[in-house]
C-alpha cells in the first residue's frame, strides 16, 4: 500500500511527511514553506495531525482540504475519536469524503489534560479498534491507517498485551500502520516480526523523529513512552547549548537510522517534520540515490 505511487513500476520505499496545524500566522508561513520544500521529494502521502475531540479538530479539517487542493498530494487526515459522538465523527468523515480525502489515520487520541476525569468514557468509542470498525462499516471506501507502538503504549503496562490490542485494531479493518518514534531499530524489527507471527501483515511504516531540540524530545519521549537510549542522551547532552551542532548531529543520527531501516527491509519512512523545513531535506539528500 502507498508504495509505487510516484512513478509507474517504481518500487521505491514509501515516503511520507507528518505536519501539525499551525496556530499563529508566522507558523502558518513556515508550514507552507516546509511543505513546498518537501514536495520535490514526491511523498507518497502527507498527513495532518489533529487535536482531540470533535470541535477541536475543525482547524485540521480545513487544513487537510487546503493541502490537498494546493498540492494535489495524497493527504491523510488524522482523526481522533476520544470524547466525540458518532454524529460528529460521521459528519467529519462525510466532509472528508466529499472533498476527496481517501485516507484516514484513525486514532483514539488522548483527552486534553484539562478535561474532567471520565472524558475518555464520554465519546462513542473507548478505543481506536471500534472506531476503525465503524469507519470500515459505514465508509468502506476509505483507506484506514492506525498507530503502532514498537515499545508498547504507555497506558498498557505489558507490551505484548498492547500488541494484541494492535492486532485487533488491524483485524477491525486497518490497511497500514505508522509507528511512534523510536531510536533502536532492533525494537522496530522485533515488533514487526512479533506482529507477523500474530498474523498481522499490513505495512508498518516506521515513524522518524529527527532530533532538533533535545529538551523538547525528552518531554515528548516521557509523554509517549519512547525510550531515549543512553548513547543518544550522552551525545545530545554534550552539545545541548549549541543548536547548530545539535542540528548536525540530529541529521547524522537520523540518516544512520533511516539507512539501516531501509537496508533491513522497512517498507518506507514516515517523518514527523514538526513543521520544520530544514532538517528533513538534509536527511533525505543523503538517502536520495540509494533509496529515493
Ligand atoms: C503515528 C501517530 C500519529 C498520531 N497522531 C495523533 C494526532 O493526530 N492527534 C492526537 O491527538 N494523537 C495522535 N497520536 C497519539 C495517539 O492518539 C495516542 O498515543 C493515544 O494515547 C492512543 O491512540 P491509539 O489510536 O493508538 O489508541 P488505541 O489503539 O485505542 O490504544 C490506546 C491504549 O488502549 C489500549 N487498548 C486498546 N484496546 C483495548 C481494550 N479493548 N481493552 C483495554 N485496553 C485497550 C492499548 O493497548 C493502548 O494502551 C498519534 C500517534 C502515532 C503513533
Domain that holds residue 182: 14-291
Which ligand 1 atom minimizes the distance to the CA of 47?
Answer: 8
175-205 pLDDT per residue, tens: 999 999 999 999 999 999 999 999 999 999 9
Q: How far apart are CA 122 and CA 131, in angstroms?
A: 14
Residue 118 inside a domain? The answer is yes
Q: How many domains does the chain have?
A: 1
12-65 pLDDT per residue, tens: 999 999 999 999 999 999 999 999 999 999 999 999 999 865 555 667 889 999
Residue 4 inside a domain? The answer is no
Residue 3 inside a domain? The answer is no
What Å distances lie between residue 156 and 50, 97, 152, 160, 225, CA to CA?
Answer: 23, 33, 7, 9, 11
Which residue did the predictor score with more confidence, 184 or 9? 184
Taking CA atoms only, the protein residue closest to ligand 1 atom 47 is 162
Dist. CA 155 → ligand 1 center (Å):
9
Residue 1 inside a domain? The answer is no
Annotation says 129 is catalytic:
no
Q: Percent of the chain having pLDDT more than 70?
A: 94
Dist. CA 231 → ligand 1 center (Å):
28
What Å distances lie between residue 207 and 65, 120, 128, 273, CA to CA?
Answer: 23, 26, 19, 10
Q: Which of 176, 170, 52 is nearest to 104 (CA)?
A: 176
Which ligand 1 atom minimizes the distance to the CA of 181?
Answer: 53
Residue 43 inside a domain? The answer is yes
Which whole number is the average pLDDT over 220-245? 96
Dist. CA 235 → ligand 1 center (Å):
30
Residue 6 inside a domain? The answer is no
CATH number at residue 224: 3.20.20.220
**Beta partners for 79?**
106
> Is there an atom of ligand 1 within 6 Å of 64 CB?
no
Dist. CA 154 → ligand 1 center (Å):
9
Q: Which of 18, 26, 121, 222 is catalytic?
A: 18
Residue 91 inside a domain? The answer is yes
The pTM of this model reads 0.95
Amino acid at each position: 500500500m502507498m508504495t509505487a505511487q510516484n512513478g509507474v513500476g517504481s518500487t521505491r520505499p514509501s515516503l511520507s511527511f507528518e505536519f501539525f496545524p499551525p496556530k499563529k500566522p508566522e507558523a502558518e508561513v513556515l508550514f507552507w514553506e516546509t511543505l513546498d520544500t518537501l514536495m520535490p521529494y514526491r511523498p507518497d502521502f502527507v498527513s495532518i495531525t489533529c487535536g482531540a475531540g470533535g470541535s477541536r479538530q475543525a482547524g485540521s479539517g480545513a487544513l487537510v482540504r487546503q493541502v490537498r487542493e494546493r498540492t494535489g498530494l495524497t493527504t491523510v487526515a488524522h482523526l481522533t475519536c476520544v470524547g466525540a459522538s458518532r454524529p460528529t465523527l460521521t459528519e467529519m468523515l462525510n466532509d472528508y469524503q466529499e472533498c476527496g480525502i481517501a485516507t484516514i489515520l484513525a486514532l483514539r487520541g488522548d483527552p486534553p489534560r484539562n478535561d474532567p476525569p471520565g472524558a475518555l468514557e464520554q465519546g462513542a468509542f473507548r478505543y481506536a479498534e471500534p472506531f476503525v470498525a465503524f469507519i470500515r462499516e459505514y465508509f468502506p471506501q476509505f483507506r484506514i491507517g492506525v498507530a503502532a507502538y514498537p515499545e508498547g503504549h504507555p497506558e498498557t503496562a505489558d507490551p505484548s498485551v498492547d500488541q494484541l490490542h494492535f492486532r485487533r485494531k488491524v483485524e477491525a479493518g486497518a490497511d497500514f500502520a505508522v509507528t511512534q518514534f523510536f531510536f533502536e531499530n532492533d525494537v522496530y524489527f522485533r515488533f514487526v516480526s512479533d506482529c507477523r507471527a500474530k498474523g498481522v501483515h499490513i505495512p508498518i511504516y516506521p515513524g522518524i523523529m529527527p532530533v532538533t531540540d533535545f529538551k523538547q524530545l525528552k518531554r515528548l519521549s516521557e509523554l509517549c513512552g519512547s525510550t531515549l537510549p543512553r548513547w543518544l542522551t550522552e551525545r545530545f547532552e554534550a552539545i545541548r547549548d549549541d543548536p547548530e551542532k545539535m542540528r548536525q548531529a540530529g541529521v547524522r543520527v537520523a540518516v544512520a537510522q533511516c539507512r539501516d531501516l531501509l537496508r533491513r527491509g522497512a517498507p518506507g519512512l514516515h517523518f514527523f517534520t514538526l513543521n520544520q523545513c530544514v532538517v528533513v531535506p538534509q536527511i533525505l539528500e543523503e538517502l536520495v540515490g540509494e533509496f529515493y
